[in-house]
Structure 1
Amino acid sequence: MIKSVAIQGVKGSFHHIVSQQFFDESMSISECLTFDEVVDSILKSNNDAAIMAIENSIAGSIIPNYALIDNYDLHIIGEHYLDIQHHLMALPNQTINDIKEVYSHPMALLQCKAFFKQYPHIKLIEDKDTAEVAQRIQSKQLKQVAAVASQLAAELFQLEILSKSIQTIKHNETRFFIVKTKNSEIPEIQINKASVKFELDHKRGSLATILNVLSDCKLNLTKIQSLPKIETPWKYAFFVDVTFETYNDYKKAKSVMKIMAQDFKVLGEYKNARL
C-alpha cells in the first residue's frame, strides 16, 4: 500500500500533478529539489514510492534518471503520461516587456526556446524546479522576474499568466515512471509492458539479434535508449521498453535475453499507460 510519494519539485510542479492523477489528490507527497534527493528518500524508507520524469516528446530522454534507476536497483511499478503546458507567469500588474529575467528548469526552458527568441531583452536562467521559482517570486515579491511553470503553480502562488502554452510544440508530453525499492505486486495477467536493461559484445549484428528475438516472441519495441558505461569506454548499456499481449510471450523473450545478453536486468513490469 503506497501512502506517500517523493516528487522532484514543490507543490504545483508537474511531478505533483502526476501524483494527483496517478494516485489521487489526497496522496501525501514529499518535496525534493533534485532527483538524487528523491531516490534517497525512498532508499531510506521515508516514502513508499517516487515519481521520476524519464522522457519528453520535445526534449527527449532524461538520461541521468535511467542511471539512477539502474544504479540503485529501483523497480518501475507504473508509468504516466502528462500533457505539459508551460505558462509564463509573474506577479500581477506587469507586462511581458517589464520582465528582465525568466527562471525555470532547464528542460522547461529548452521546450520554450522559440518563444523567447521573440524577446531578446529577457535573460533565461536555469533553475532547479519550475514551481519552486513561482513560489520564490511570490514569497520574495520579485518584480521584473517571471517563471515558466504549470497552471496549478500560478493558482497556488497567485501569479498572473502573461502568456499561455509557450512551448515550441503545442502537443507536448512527458512520460513519468513510478518507482519503488521492491518489485510490483501487479498480477501477471495485468502486466503488458516491461522495461529491461542489458549489455552486448562488440560483435556485428549483436543488437539486431536481440531485436529479432523480441519480434519472434511477439513483443513490440516502444523505446530503446543507450547509456555509456563510464568505467568501460565505448561500451554501452541498452534500456529497452516492450509491450506485449500475453505475459507468457514476454516470459519467453526474457528467458532468451538472459542467455544472449550480458548483465540482463528487469527494471520493471507494469501496465501500459497508453491503452
Structure 2
Amino acid sequence: MKNLDLGELRGQLDEIDGQLVRLFEQRMKICADVAEYKIETGKAVYDGERERQKLEAVGAMAHGDFNSQAVQELFSQLMTVSRKRQYQLLARHGKGIDTGFQVIEAIQTSGARVAYQGVEGSYGHGAALQFFGREASLYHVTAMEDVMAEVEEGRADYGVLPIENSSAGAVSDNYDLLVKHNNYIVAETQLAVRHALLGLPEARLEDVELVYSHPQALMQCSQYLNSHPQWRQISLENTAAAALKVTRDGDCRQAAVASEIAGRLYGLKVLAPGINHNKNNTTRFIVLSREAVYRKDASKVSICFEGLHRSGSLYNMLGNFIFNNVNMLMIESRPIEGRSWEYRFFVDVEGSLGDAAVQNALKGISEEAVSMRILGNY
C-alpha cells in the first residue's frame, strides 16, 4: 500500500460518504413507497421478525466479528429512521394515533369536589387550595391511593397528588398509581415547601427525642435532623398528620416536621423554622380527572411505556422524539411488578396532543412498545 497523507485519506472518505448519502436517499424513497403500500393495506409499520432476519443477513455479509456487529448496529439505526419516516407519512394520510382525548376550554374549579391526601394543613391541602381556591369543596382521604379511587369511582371530580420534589426527587409510588388507575393528569401546580420543627407550646428543643413526618419531608430535612443523632426519626403518612399526633399525644419529647400553617392549625410552637436544606424546595403536584381531556393551552404531555427487554429498546423508543423534534423534559423508570429487572418508563415532553410532531412521536412509540399509555396533556 502506497503512503497516503491525511488529506488524501479524508478525500477518499468524503467520496465514500457522498455515495452513502445518495444510497441512503434511494433507500428512503423506497421506504416511502413501502409506507404507501402499508397505507393501502393497513399493514403495520413495525415487523420485528423481518428486522431480526435483516440484521442477521447483513451481519453475515461483513468480514470479522467487529464489522459484523457494527454493520448490524448501522442497519438497526437505518431501519429505525425508515420507520420514523413511515410513521410521518401514515399520519399525513390520517393514519396517526387516536389519543382518545378531547379538547376543553378550561378546568372548572368553582364548586368542584376535590380529594387530597392527608389532614387539613398538609401540603396536599395547600396545593389543592392553591389550584382550586376556596370556591371548591376540598376534602381529605387517608392514603395516596384513596385519592385515585375517589376520582376513578366518581366521588371526586378531581384529585391532587404530589409527583416530584425538587430536593427528594420523584414520589415513586404515585407513578405506580398512575398505571394502576384509569385517571388522567389535567393540570399541575407547584407549591413552595418550607418545613419547620414543631412541638408543644411548653416544649423546648432539648426535650425532643422523637421526630415524626412523611418520609419525603424527613429526607428533605435530613441534614438538620441528622445533626441531632439522638433524635429518632419516625415516618408517618403525612406531615400534617405528624403535627396532629404531637398535639393529641401531648408529649414534650415528640416533635413534627410540617408547615408552620399546620403548626398554627394544631396549636404547636415552632422549635426551629425553615429546616429543609434546600431553601428553594418545591413540590410539583398533579391534578387528576377520570375524563380524558386537555386544555387548549396545554403544553406538556406525560406518557408511560414498556419496551422490549433487549439492547437498544429504550434508545429506539426515545428516537421517536428526536426525529420529530419533540423536546423531552423528564424520564423516570419504575420496576414492573412480577418481572424482575424489567422496567416501565415515564416520560414528559413539551407539546400538545393536537401537535402533529407529538402525534407522530406517540404513533411510533405505540407501534414499537410492548404497551404505551398517555397519562395526560396539561
- The size of the alignment, in residue pairs, is 268
Change (3 A) 1:185 1:195: closer
Match of 1:223 among 323, 330, 335: 330
In 2, the alpha carbon distance for the partners of 1:6 and 1:154 equals 22
Per-residue CA deviations over 1:51-76 (Å, capped at 9, x if unaligned) read 11111122221221111111112101
Aligned pairs for 1:101-250 within 5 A: 101-187=210-296, 190-244=297-351, 247-250=355-358
Q: CA deviation at 1:121?
A: 2.4
CA contact (8 A) 1:103 1:148 kept: yes
Match of 1:256 among 364, 370, 377: 364
Amino acid at match of 1:251: Q
Q: CA deviation at 1:147?
A: 0.7
Q: State which drifts further: 213-222 or 3-12.
A: 213-222
The TM-score with structure 1 as length reference comes to: 0.91
Q: CA deviation at 1:140?
A: 4.0
Indicate the residue corresponding to 1:273 in structure 2.
none
CA contact (8 A) 1:42 1:48 kept: yes
In 2, the alpha carbon distance for the partners of 1:140 and 1:200 equals 50
In 1, the alpha carbon distance for the partners of 2:270 and 2:191 equals 20
Secondary structure in 2 matching 1:58: coil
Amino acid at match of 2:373: K
CA contact (8 A) 1:19 1:27 kept: no
Per-residue CA deviations over 1:190-245 (Å, capped at 9, x if unaligned) read 12111001111133322122222212222111111111222222322111110137
CA contact (8 A) 2:294 2:376 kept: no
Bigger fraction of residues in helix: 2
Percent identity of equivalent pairs: 32
Aligned pairs for 1:91-106 within 5 A: 91-106=200-215
In 2, the alpha carbon distance for the partners of 1:41 and 1:195 equals 22
In 2, the alpha carbon distance for the partners of 1:215 and 1:81 equals 28
* Max Rg structure: 2
Change (3 A) 1:73 1:43: closer
Bigger fraction of residues in strand: 1
Secondary structure in 2 matching 1:175: strand
Change (3 A) 1:219 1:75: same
In 2, the alpha carbon distance for the partners of 1:236 and 1:125 equals 30
CA contact (8 A) 2:185 2:289 kept: yes
Secondary structure in 1 matching 2:293: coil
The TM-score with structure 2 as length reference comes to: 0.67
The CA RMSD over aligned residues, in Å, is 1.7
Q: CA deviation at 1:263?
A: 0.8
In 2, the alpha carbon distance for the partners of 1:192 and 1:255 equals 18
Secondary structure in 2 matching 1:12: coil
Change (3 A) 1:88 1:26: farther
Amino acid at match of 1:113: S
- Higher RCO (C-alpha 8 Å, min separation 6): 1
In 1, the alpha carbon distance for the partners of 2:207 and 2:158 equals 42
Unaligned stretches of 5+ in structure 2? 1-107
